[in-house]
Structure 1
Amino acid sequence: MMTPQKHATLDDFIVETEYGVIGDDADVRYLKVSFCTEAYREEDFARYAINKPDSLTRAVPKRKAEYLAGRYCCAALLRGFSVSSEVTTHQDRSPCWPQGMRGTISHGTVSDGYSQAMAIVTSRPQLCLGADIEVLNREVLREICETFTQPAEREYLQTLAIDLDFSLLLAFSAKESLFKALYPQVKTFFGFEYASVDSINTLNKTFVLRFNRDLNEVFTAGVKIKGSYAFDGKIIITIVVIDSLSPF
């Protein structure tokens, strides 16, 4: 999972930062920030030296703040790899990373006025990275759980030594991370039904997803993908790192 190395406080918008590596891999680095959406100002893009795309012209301030915080994380991490190019956006709204770099971005609302954003970046282009931040909402989870889990999954989740709603949130977030990791490679949208939770290890905070159907010639039915997770209060972060040269 995440191995923090540095913590810092910045200003009224980017309130706190946490920098580290994933596991013990110094070439897979993350930056997580807490930011105040109510403190966002239009001039913050210039203040942090991030270009504001035309697509955000009519966006609400919250969306602009999320974009800025995420791209701030990306820019700071890329500088650590001596890369000055920014992360732009493809037509399908997925991030477009500088040549030779791979990464993933996520953000989530933590409480009224405060959110978190996170990016993971690597200079090894064969790695597929996926990360997701989610906040527990019990009522919503119970209402939509049948849209992202199968009956057998829900039966298994009830056997775990963690709160059922947290395990449902973990299942949802893990599949989101899987999609973020693989979409840039397969270029195919795929839904929650493509994978199921195979197992969750609550001691070492890892999970295994199993494909239910073929995604392509590599990720076929029965293939298993491992990931990791961390809970912080009502917040969960899930991470998937897949080596496309030896994915299993």
Structure 2
Amino acid sequence: MMNVNETYQKFADYYDAYAGAFDKDLAFYTSLCRPDEKILEVGCGTGRVLQRFLNDGFQITGVDISDEMLAVAKQKLASFCHSGNLVILHHNFFEHPLPEVYDRVLVTWFTFNYILETPENFLKNLVASMDSQAMLAMDVFYPRTFTNPNVNDVWTTRQLTYHGRVITVQDKRTVSGDMEERIQIYRENGKETHIHTRRKYYPPHILKQLLECAGLMEIMFSEQYESNAFKPTLEEHEIVEHFVVNAKKP
């Protein structure tokens, strides 16, 4: 697994500016859950998804392995922490399960793709943190260069504005086999921050095998953020940007 702590120590200051406006998945996640369920988000980052659940009246627990990202989430969502509707934990599923079990587990926005090796260890501890009959949903990325080879190994530039900040981002993705290498350069007020990440693509059939080996069943796929769009198989030619896998613990 990549050195996530070092990467997100740098990225935490820019994450909300870069990803905060993305909301296509939020209504989808809440539609999968009931307010009476114990809900867990894995890879909660700075709280983008947590915020939606809390605003809609849910109680939820968020975990991440980046102290810096969690510090931002705790600051943004302090009132929900104080009310007891939100629990934020630093936790690494490669090491052990959580002490409590949950009814619905969400592994959001490509968190699973940052697992570069031994995903079986991660899934074993994740499933051990699920109650009987609990459901798991994971959002998995599909490399952009698979559908548009012209963007492979090409620099792009865009400008972000966020709460009065103006940030210029240069971005380059290079895909080789099932691995994506990405370099981002953030520039703000003369400061330059380089962030290097690696993500692994897991095709639907491989992911299904991993989930079955972890003890999950009723595995379904959707290439859309729609709770009624799940189906038992998904061909790669159907995928555009991502897919979601849903599975049940017996």
Report TM bin, short chain: 0.3 to 0.5
TM-score (norm 2): 0.33
TM-score (norm 1): 0.33
- RCO comparison, higher one (Cα < 8 Å, 6+): 2
